[in-house]
């Protein structure tokens, strides 16, 4: 007997959110009030660079909190998505910001951002 995998409501919400927004950050807390240092760092970078992004507070919904880990096959929060693609967590986003790869990713996907702000982050961390 073949087992059919039912899509759960959390998975549907995650897919819809990722599809509907150019940039999505699944995080602990919100972009205005992060609830952990790693989420704060990624939200801070995106905010500083002037990126418009949807924030999803995984602390409000245990199914989303586990569901996003299953969806990406990535064990930690925060998780950044750009144009439907999983980018990474805090360490990867930090590395990409400092190397300029994040700028390139946004440019290639037509996501507007403040290039001067991105340069300031790199200067401050040189």
**pLDDT tens string 22-31:** 999 999 999 9
Q: Could you give the 3-state DSSP secondary structure of residue 67?
A: helix
Full set of structural domains in the chain with CATH: 9-124 (3.40.30.10)
7 pLDDT exceeds 90?
Answer: no
Contacts of 15 (CB under 8 A, 6+ apart): 71
Q: Report the relative pairing of strands 54-57 and 79-82 from DSSP bridges.
A: unpaired
Q: Is 90 annotated as a binding residue?
A: no
pLDDT at 23: 98
Contacts of 97 (CB under 8 A, 6+ apart): 45, 118, 121, 122
Percent of the chain with pLDDT over 70: 94
CB atoms within 10 A of CB 67: 21
Whether the CB-CB separation of 27 and 42 falls below 8 Å is answered with yes
1 pLDDT exceeds 70?
Answer: no
4 pLDDT exceeds 90?
Answer: no
Q: What angle do CA 8, 11, 12 make, to 5 degrees?
A: 85
Q: pLDDT tens-digit profile of 64-100? A: 999 999 999 999 999 999 999 999 999 999 999 999 9
pLDDT at 86: 98
Q: pLDDT tens-digit profile of 101-126? A: 999 999 999 999 999 999 999 999 98
Q: How many angstroms separate the CA atoms of 102 and 45, rounded?
A: 10
Q: What angle do CA 109, 113, 117 make, to 5 degrees?
A: 140
């Amino acid at each position: 007997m073949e087992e059919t995998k039912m899509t759960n409501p959390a998975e549907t919400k995650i897919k819809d959110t990722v599809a509907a927004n150019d940039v999505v950050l699944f995080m602990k807390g919100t972009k205005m009030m992060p609830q952990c240092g790693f989420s704060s760092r990624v939200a801070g970078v995106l905010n500083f660079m002037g990126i418009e992004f949807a924030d999803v507070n995984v602390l409000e919904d245990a199914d989303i909190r586990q569901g996003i880990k299953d969806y990406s096959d990535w064990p930690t929060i925060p998780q950044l998505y750009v144009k439907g693609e999983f980018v990474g967590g805090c360490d990867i986003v930090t590395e990409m910001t400092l190397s300029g790869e994040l700028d390139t990713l946004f440019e290639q996907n037509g996501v507007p951002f403040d290039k001067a702000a991105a340069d300031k982050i790199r200067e401050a961390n040189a």
